[in-house]
Homo-oligomer: A and B are copies of this chain.
Amino acid sequence: MSEQRYQHGLDKLMEYTLTDNKDISTHLKISEALQDIAPDVAKYIIEFAYGDIYFRSGLSNERRALVTISSLVTQGTEPQLELHINTGLTAGLTPKEIVESIIQLIPYTGFPRVLNALNVAKKVFAQRDVQ
C-alpha cells in the first residue's frame, strides 16, 4: 500500500538523517520549498527513492550512500552532493572514506569534478565539525 511505502520511506530517510547534526531537516526543507508548485515530488522522493529503492535489502546503508555520492560527483550536481555527503556521514561513512571515494574517481571523471566535490566535502565536514 502507498501508506506503507511512505512510512517505509520516511523510516529509511530518518536512518540517513536523524542525528544531532545539521542535516536533519534538509530533506524536509526541500519538500517545503516545493510544496506550492510540486507537492508530489516530495512524496515521490519518500515513497519511491526511499520507500522503494533505499528500503531494499541487499546493500547496507553505507554502501547505498557510497553509490549515490559516486554518481553525484560524476554528474557534478553539487547541491545534492552536499546533501548526500551528509547522509553518507550519518549512515556511517567516515570523512576519510568519503574523501577516498572521491579521489578514487579521478581516473574516471578527471580532476575537475573531483576538485569541486572535495570542496563540497570540506564544507560539509566543517559544518558538522568532523574530519
- In the assembly, how many copies of this chain are there? 6
B111 with A111: CB separation less than 8 A:
no
Number of interface residues of A (CB under 8 A): 64
Pick from B1, B48, B75, B119: contact of A112, CB under 8 Å:
B75
From residue 25 to 44 of chain A, which have CB atoms closer than 8 A to chain B?
Answer: 30, 33-34, 36-38, 40-41, 44
Q: Of B30, B40, B66, B112, which one neighbours A77 at CB under 8 angstroms?
A: B112
Chosen A-B contacts, 30 in total, with CB atoms closer than 8 Å, are A2-B2, A33-B122, A34-B118, A37-B131, A40-B56, A41-B106, A41-B114, A44-B53, A44-B106, A45-B107, A48-B107, A49-B111, A53-B107, A58-B100, A59-B97, A63-B63, A63-B66, A66-B66, A67-B70, A68-B104, A70-B70, A70-B71, A71-B73, A75-B76, A75-B109, A75-B112, A76-B76, A80-B116, A107-B110, A107-B111
